[in-house]
Structure 1
C-alpha cells in the first residue's frame, strides 16, 4: 500500500522545549543563544501536551488532535514509545515523532492524550515508562485523555478510570474494567479524564481538550474557523448537480496532491478514509522534494514526486486545502496541466477548503460548475449560489468547505465511487455517525 510519512515537527524546537521546561522547573535561566528560544520573555508559557504514538496508531486520531491543539497555541510533543522515531501507523501513514518517550520522562505536562488504533494502543499500554509517567501525572492532578481503543486498553488497564464515567470505541466497551461507569457519549469528561469513541469523534475530542486546557472561550475560538458540524453523529449529506455515475474499471486510483503549507488534517483524513474504502491512494508532492512542511508544522513525506507520476492513470485527483498549499498548487504548471487534462477528459477531480477558490477557480476549472470553498473565500467563486453547502458535487467535480467538512468530503467521495451503503458503513465504523 502507498504510504504517507508524517513527521510531527513544530516550533519551538524540541531542544527549546527542554530548555524552557528546565528553566520553569529549576529557576535557572538558560541563555537564549545556547538554545535559540524564539519566544519573548513576556509571552506566557503555552500549555504543554504529550501525545505518545506507536506502530499501529490511528493517524487521524493523532494528527487531528495535534493540529487542533496547536491551533490553540499548545506546545505539543509527539513521543514514540518504540525504539526509534519512525512510526508505522495505520492505513499506510508513517509518522516521525519529535522525541523518544524516554527523552520525555522527566518533563511535566499539562495534558497527556493518547490516540487509539490497534496494535498501537497495546504497545502504548505496555510501555512501562509511559505508565509510570501518566500515573504520576494523574496523581498530581493533571489532565489525561484517550480515544478509540485507548480508554479501555490503556487507561482502563492502568486503573486510571476507576469510578469514573468513560467511553471508548464501541467494540471495546466490554473491555473497560467493571469499576468504570460506561457511557456511550461521543466525548466524556469526568474529573481530569477525557475519553472519546473513535476517528469520527476526534475533532470533537480535540476541541474538548482545548476547553479543558484553556476554557470554553478558547475552544469556541478554535472551533469556529474549522467549519465543524453543528449536529455531530447525524448522517452526512451532499448536494449534487448534473449527476453522473462515477465509474472505474477496477480499484479506483486516486492522486492526493501535497505541497508545503497543505492542511495536514484535511490531507490525512482524505487519505485515511479512502484507503479504508480500499481505493489505491497515492500521495504526490508537487514540489521538487518528497518531504513537505504542512500548515501546522507537521512534516509530510509523499509517496512520489509529481513528475514520477505522469505515467500513471488516475481516476480521481484531489487537492486538500491550507493557504500555503493552495497557493503552491495554483503555481504548479505541471499540476494545473494534469488537472485541466483530467477535467477536459471528463475524469474526476475535487478540492477542499482554500483550493477550490485559489486553485480551481482562477484556472477555469469551476467554469459552469456549482462549488463551495472555505467560507471566507466564497466571494472568489464566480458562482456562489451553492457555496453554503458543506459538500457540493457537480458532475465529475466535488468540493467542500474546510477541516470540519473533510470527513464528509472523503465519505462523499466513497459514496460516489462505491455507493451510499458503503459510505454509511464506513462512517459508522469510525463513529462519524
Structure 2
C-alpha cells in the first residue's frame, strides 16, 4: 500500500525474527514432507495487529488441509523486509515465497516462477487485470499482486469548518486557498502534510506528478521523470506551497508519511494524501474527516496512484507444486477478504472486490475500490525501479526547498534511470 508500511518492526515480529530457527535451503524433510519458507511484510502498527498473527493462522489452516506441507513465516517491518529478502537471495538462501514491495530485479535475474507456473487457471483469472499487468516483465507475470490501495485527498472536517472552507478543493488554486485559510486556524501545524522523507517519497512524488498531468512514464513505458509537467509541478510546490509555509515549519525532505498520518490523527493537519488505512487510524482517534479525488491543475486530477504490494515465488528450492497449492489457498476469496478487511486495504481479486463492494460494512472503501481499475501504478516492472525509488527518497525533498532546482534534480534521476535500463538489456 509505499509501498504501502507503518512503524518499525513490532515486538511480535522482532521476537519471531530473533527466535526463529534456521531453515534448510531445500525446505524438504526426510519424511517426504515439505516446509515452505515465507518472508512477509508487517502491515500492523503494534504487536496486537501484527500480520504475523494472520500468517500463522493461515499456515496452520493450510497444514491441516495439506498435511505434508508446512509453512514457516517470518514477518518484518516495511523498513527492512525488502532488504532482508535481498540479503537472503544474495547469500544463496532464498525463501520459497516473499511478500514484499518489488519483484522486477529477481524476475530479470531468472530467479522467480511465473504466475502461470504456479496458479490454477481460475485463481490467475481472478486477479484484477490492471493490477496483474503491473506484475509483468516482458509480458510474463512474475509479480503476484497481494493487496492494493489507491490514494485520495483527506480533509479534517472540523478544521475545515473552523477555517470556513465549504468543500474539498478540486484545483491547485482551490488547494492553495484552502491551505492558506487553514494556516490561520489555531492548532494547525501543517495546513497540508507533504511527506517527501525516505519512508514513502516515491508515492508522494507520484501523486503530485499525476495531479500536475505528468507521471513517471509515458504510455510506452519510457521514463518521463523530467518532463515539463513534472518540473512545473515541483516548481509550484516549491514556490506556492512550501515557500509560503503551507506545509508547516518542518522540512518535507525529513517528513515521513506515518509522521503526517499521526499528526492528522491528532488534529494538527488540515489536508494530506492518504490511503484506506488512514480511515481506520483517524476514526480510532475521533477525527472527523472527508475524502475527495486528487486536485489537479485546473480541476480534479485525471488519475490517482494505485499501489500493489507483491507476492513472488523463488525457484531455488524447487518447491513449485507445493508453492502453487499454498498460493491458491492464499488467494481464495475468504482469505483475501480476511486480510484486506483487517487493514482496510483493497482486494486484488475480482471475486473479493465484488464481495467487498456489496458489503455495507466496507462502504467507506468503495470510493477507493472504484478507482482501482483505472489507477496508475509504479513502473514496478522495470529493473531500474528500485534504484529510481532510492534516488527519489534521497533527492526529491531538496527540490521544494528555497533555491531547489526541480529541473536539474529530476533530469539527474532520469539519466540514472535510463542508464540502469540500458545496462539491464
TM-score norm. by structure 1 comes to: 0.31
Which has more helix, going by share of residues?
2
**Which one has a larger percent strand, Structure 1 or Structure 2?**
1
Higher RCO (CA-CA < 8 Å; seq separation 6+) = 2
